[in-house]
Each structure stands twice: as structure tokens, then as C-alpha cells.
Structure 1
Amino acid sequence: MLTDVDRAHLRRCVELATEALDAGDEPFGSVLVGPDGTVRFEDRNRVAGGDATQHPEFAIARWAATHLSPGDRAASTVYTSGEHCPMCAAAHGWVGLGRIVYASSSAQLTGWLAELGVPPGPVRPLPVTEVAPGVAVDGPARGLDEQVRELHRRLHRG
């Protein structure tokens, strides 16, 4: 169940996703919140430069591995506009980050892209729990998921 604090962090993720889209990138944004409730790191998608691994969730995993203790990583929460792709879910699991909270699910995104006639990507969109089964996951967030849907519609329909 999502709290008001969760929804506030998810709104920031949607803002970051909007910033990414406005910069000519795919609309994804993520925030890492430490165990004390402090925002430790945030980023947006940066794949437009040609490196398809430049996802914000992957950047969070790399940052956390360098800057946080294993205990702090496990007690932290990653908020994101869209459920982690398998690459990012694996990085999350390997680094030992805690809970993931997302505004929209991979299943929702897959459906939206199919409706828009966008061909599937090169990696199957598995749920986080299939890639990193020990990670606690919450989402989607009603209302915010529709905002994310609109960002993807803008990306693919202009």
C-alpha cells in the first residue's frame, strides 16, 4: 500500500520523466531515498545519446554501490516512474537495494506501447519479482500511472 510519502517521491519521478522527454529522451525518472527519508540520488533516462544502458535505475544501483554501506542500501527505497526493466532489476538485486515503488508497471507499459503500435524492445519486459525475487515491490500508483501513460503517448505520437 502506498503512503503519502511514497506518492510524493513518485510525483518527483514523473517530473524527472517529463524532464527526460522534454530533453528528447525516453520518459523515465527515478529517486533513491535513504533509510532516514533523505533523497540520496535522482536521475532520468539518458539513452538518447546512444547508450541504451543509461537508465536512471541502473545509475542509482551504481551510485549506491559506491556511496552506501550494504545496510543502508538494503534499508533504502528506489522510487521510479516505470517498473525496472530486467537489466535494472538485476543491478538492483546484485547491489542489495531495498524496496522498489513504481508509478507504472512493465505490464502497463507493454500494453500502452502495443496500443501505440510500437514494436517490442530487444529485452523481454519481466516483472521485477521474476528477476530479483527477494525485492519488495509496490505499484502501480493510480493517477500517476496515467500521467506516465501520457508521457509515452507524447513520445510515440508527438
Structure 2
Amino acid sequence: MKNFKFRIYDNNYNVKIVSHEDNIIDLEVNGTAYSVKLKEEVKVSKTPTLVRSASKRPAELLKVNPSSSNTKIVAPIPGTVLSIDVNIGDEVKVGDRLLVLEAMKMENNITSEKAGKVTAIQVKIGQQVLQNEVMIELA
């Protein structure tokens, strides 16, 4: 069934589990047969099922509040900043490319959803960012 090798106090043990029924295990240790009775019955655990809620689409993460004076551009997915196409003080229009984010071996253009002036750049080229991490701020 299963074979195990143990080393205890410089002694080698080859353990072979021959059978396992209820709470009795038949095994061989270095060729000698043993029958072991477990104190408690072995309970079979079920494999857990992971349930994950649906994630927001990247386009929804970049939506901005048009009435807000400050806009924060966040990373839609985890990745690495490949290039930054704006500087602090630059005026940007809707659709202008702000930076390029590499995620899962793909280059993603991060564009502005609102016209404004770049007030802060929170990332640098080569930096890894997490999802929803603020990268650029607009006013």
C-alpha cells in the first residue's frame, strides 16, 4: 500500500502499510509484521470547497466620480509597471495613456477616465503593484 522510511537515533526503519480497515492497521517494520489498533476511529475528512465571490471587472475599477475634484488611478490587477507616460504637472485628457502595466505576460495600457492634471505618481518603473493599489493621482 504505502512505504515509509524513518531514521530514529541513527537507526533506519522501513515501514510498509499493508492494510487499513476501520481502526486496525496491518504493517511491516523492517520485514516484521505488526497489527496496530488505533485508540480512536479514523475520521475521513471531506475535501473543502473554496468559494470565491465574483471579482470586479477591470473596467469598473477604473471608473471615476466625475463630480470629484481628485481622482486616484488604481491598479486593476496585480502586475509590474513597465513604463510611466506622464509626469507630475502634465495635463491629461480622457483616454490618454498614463502607464503600461504588465500582468500575466500581457501589457495593459492604463488610460485616464477623466481629464485633469497629474498631481502625484505613487509608482516607479519596475515596481510591482497589487490590485487596487493607487498608482497615479489627478486633480
Which TM-score tier does this pair reach, normalised by the shorter chain? under 0.3
Give the helix-richer structure, 1 or 2.
1
Indicate the structure (1 or 2) with the bigger Cα radius of gyration.
Answer: 2
Give me the TM-score of the superposition, normalised by structure 1: 0.24
| Bigger relative contact order, structure 1 or 2 (CA pairs below 8 A, ≥6 apart) | 1
Give me the TM-score of the superposition, normalised by structure 2: 0.26
